[in-house]
Copies of this chain bind each other. A is one copy, B any other.
Amino acid sequence: MLRARVTITLKQGILDPQGDTVRSALAALGFDGVADCRVGKFVLLRLTESDRAKAAAQVEEMCRRLLANPVIEDFRFELEEIP
């Protein structure tokens, strides 16, 4: 079995008001060393497929068709073996 860790973020250049709000909130708590903050989504998938190449192709397709909006979002993922 494989586990896919998918992260989805807004593309560079797309405004991210949620990220700005988090940065302000962190600054208000005293964390003033944050130059930039972007908020995205994270999806953890447990796949029955055990072939890495096939799994990668499946996850790529899932991101394109459902998980991410390719117009405004970038995605990236890593696969790891699980018992």
Contact = CB atoms under 8 A, between A and B. Distances in A.
Interface of A: 1, 5, 7-9, 19, 22, 25-26, 29, 31, 33-49, 58, 61-62, 65-67
Contacts of A37: 43-46
Contacts of A43: 19, 22, 37-40
Given A35-B47, A47-B34, A9 B65 contact: no
B42 A58 contact: no
Given A39-B41, A42-B40, A46-B35, A25 B58 contact: no
A36 B22 CA distance: 29
Nearest to A35: B46
8 contacts: A29-B65, A31-B58, A33-B58, A34-B47, A37-B43, A37-B46, A38-B44, A39-B44
